């Protein structure tokens, strides 16, 4: 019984979770390592320990591919046959394994030492072809290395039985210069590479921020210079004929600003409702053109209605007014 052999480990697992149901996966791995696979009795035992309906636990076992409901070999060999590994020789590796073991995929050798499986990506594409043995990663496995691989695994059969199939204690291996498997530190090289990549990413981010700030400052300076140039072009400060700067409000003698359209102020300004001064008059005084009076009306039109006389200059008021003959119809 699991509580007889793994009581402390099981109690520690259950204590980690607010609900005992959450411990179903790690407890199933313990059962699989203990019994070799998860048969009906093992699944029901896990359900009893956790206080769950057996159906709930059977559903979990049927969902995950790393739970085995039938007897497996001491070493489950899983070869990745996804695209990167295939391009690197995965199919040739599988053929070599089948020939050496005398079995096909999803079969187990008569001595119950090896079970062969195909799997999809195991996230080690840079070391393809990759094989997992009870989830131990074995990198760069070529067909020529199959015999050395199988010999090493047979020599470690006792270790495999003790560690189980769950991969809870899996390690990383690669072939050394002598052609034999050698264990490598699982996270050492990856940790160093991650730290270096992280530092490089942070440095690149700082350079990007500095460049963006510099560009923003340059854009702001260019926009200000452009605005200044536009202001000088659109509102030049050259003196006007009355010697005041263009665009500057005229000021009275006391320095106060003089608003526009005020009677008696400003040079050449007209009173409200009056026409502008005639600056081209002969006397040069800018006399305002005379407005026609009510008595100065044109002769009646053909309809008998008086016609208004257009405004005319004062020096033309003595022009003789000639009556306009009304047009007569040729028919009468």
Instruction: For 3-56, write each residue's pLDDT tens digit.
Output: 888 899 999 989 999 999 999 999 999 999 999 899 999 999 999 999 999 999
Which residues 6+ apart lie within 8 Å of 311 measured at CB? 275, 289, 290, 291, 292
Q: Are β-strands 114-119 and 75-80 bridged in parallel, bridged antiparallel, or unpaired?
A: parallel
In this model, does residue 117 exceed pLDDT 80? yes
Closest among 164, 167, 86 to 120, alpha carbons compared: 86
> What's the whole-number average pLDDT of the chain?
78
Overall pTM surpassing 0.85 (yes/no): no
Instruction: Give the model's pLDDT for residue 213.
Output: 92
Integer angstrom CA distances of residue 247 from 47, 234, 242, 276: 92, 10, 12, 21
Instruction: Give the model's pLDDT for residue 295.
Output: 47
Report CA torsion sign: 275, 281, 284, 285. negative
Stronger pLDDT, 247 or 208, i.e. the higher one: 208
What φ, ψ does residue 15 adopt, rounded to 5°?
A: -70, -20
In this model, does residue 256 exceed pLDDT 90? no
Closest among 280, 281, 259, 277 to 268, alpha carbons compared: 277
Q: Give the span between the Cα atoms of 267 and 255, in whole angstroms.
A: 16
Stronger pLDDT, 15 or 324, i.e. the higher one: 15
Binning pLDDT at 50, 70 and 90, where does residue 199 land? confident
Stronger pLDDT, 200 or 93, i.e. the higher one: 93
In this model, does residue 309 exceed pLDDT 90? no
Instruction: Give the model's pLDDT for residue 129.
Output: 92
Peptide bond preceding 129: is omega within 30 degrees of 0, i.e. cis? yes
In this model, does residue 305 exceed pLDDT 70? no
Instruction: Give the model's pLDDT for residue 268.
Output: 44
Instruction: Give the model's pLDDT for residue 267.
Output: 46
Binning pLDDT at 50, 70 and 90, where does residue 263 land? very low
* Cα angle, residue 243 at apex, residues 240 and 245 outer, rounded to 5°: 60
- The DSSP-derived string for 98-162 is HHHHT--TT-B-TTS-EEEEEES--S-GGG-S-EEETTEEE-S--GGGHHHHHHHHHHTHHHHHH
Which residues 6+ apart lie within 8 Å of 105 measured at CB? 94, 98, 116, 117, 118
Q: Give the span between the Cα atoms of 138 and 172, in whole angstroms.
A: 6
Instruction: Give the model's pLDDT for residue 10.
Output: 92
Q: Give the span between the Cα atoms of 177 and 175, in whole angstroms.
A: 7
Instruction: Give the model's pLDDT for residue 197.
Output: 67
pLDDT digits (tens, 9 = 90+) for 134-193: 999 999 999 999 999 999 999 988 888 888 888 877 888 998 888 888 888 765 545 565
Q: Domains, the chain, ranges and CATH? A: 1-71 (1.10.10.1590), 72-208 (3.40.30.10)
Q: Give the span between the Cα atoms of 237 and 251, in whole angstroms.
A: 16
Computed on alpha carbons and rounded to an integer, the radius of gyration of the chain in Å comes to 52
> In this structure, what token pair is assigned to residue 23?
């411990």
In this model, does residue 300 exceed pLDDT 80? no
Binning pLDDT at 50, 70 and 90, where does residue 92 land? very high
Residues 80-91, mean pLDDT to the nearest whole number = 91
b/e code 4-24 from CB counts within 10 Å (16+ = b):
eebeeebeebbeeeeeeeebb
């Amino acid at each position: 019984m699991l509580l007889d052999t793994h009581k402390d480990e099981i109690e520690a697992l259950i204590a980690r979770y607010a609900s005992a149901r959450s411990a179903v996966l790690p407890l199933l791995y313990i059962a699989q390592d203990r019994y070799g696979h998860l048969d009906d009795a093992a699944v029901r035992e896990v359900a009893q320990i956790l206080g769950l309906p057996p159906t709930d636990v059977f559903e979990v076992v049927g969902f995950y591919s790393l739970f085995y409901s039938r007897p497996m070999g001491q070493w489950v060999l899983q070869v990745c046959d996804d695209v990167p590994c295939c391009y690197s020789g995965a199919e040739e590796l599988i053929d070599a394994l089948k020939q050496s073991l005398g079995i096909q995929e999803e079969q187990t050798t008569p001595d119950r030492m090896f079970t062969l499986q195909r799997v999809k990506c195991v996230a080690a594409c840079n070391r393809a072809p990759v094989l997992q043995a009870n989830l131990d990663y074995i990198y760069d496995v070529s067909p020529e290395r199959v015999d050395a691989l199988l010999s090493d695994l047979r020599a470690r059969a006792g270790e495999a039985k003790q560690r189980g199939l769950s991969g809870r204690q899996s390690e990383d291996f690669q072939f050394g210069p002598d052609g034999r498997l050698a264990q490598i530190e699982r996270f050492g090289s990856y940790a160093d590479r991650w730290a270096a990549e992280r530092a490089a990413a942070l440095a690149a981010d700082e350079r990007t921020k500095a460049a963006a700030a510099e560009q923003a400052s340059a854009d702001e300076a260019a926009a200000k210079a452009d605005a200044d140039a536009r202001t000088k072009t659109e509102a030049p400060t050259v003196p006007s004929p009355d010697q005041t700067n263009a665009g500057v409000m005229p000021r009275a003698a006391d320095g106060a600003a003089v608003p526009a359209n005020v009677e008696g102020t400003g040079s050449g300004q007209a009173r409200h409702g009056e026409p502008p001064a005639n600056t081209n008059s002969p006397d040069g005084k800018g006399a305002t053109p005379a407005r026609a009076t009510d008595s100065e009306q044109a002769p009646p039109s053909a309809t008998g209605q008086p016609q208004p006389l257009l405004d005319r200059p004062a020096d033309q008021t003595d022009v003789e007014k000639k009556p306009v003959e009304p047009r007569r119809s040729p028919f009468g």
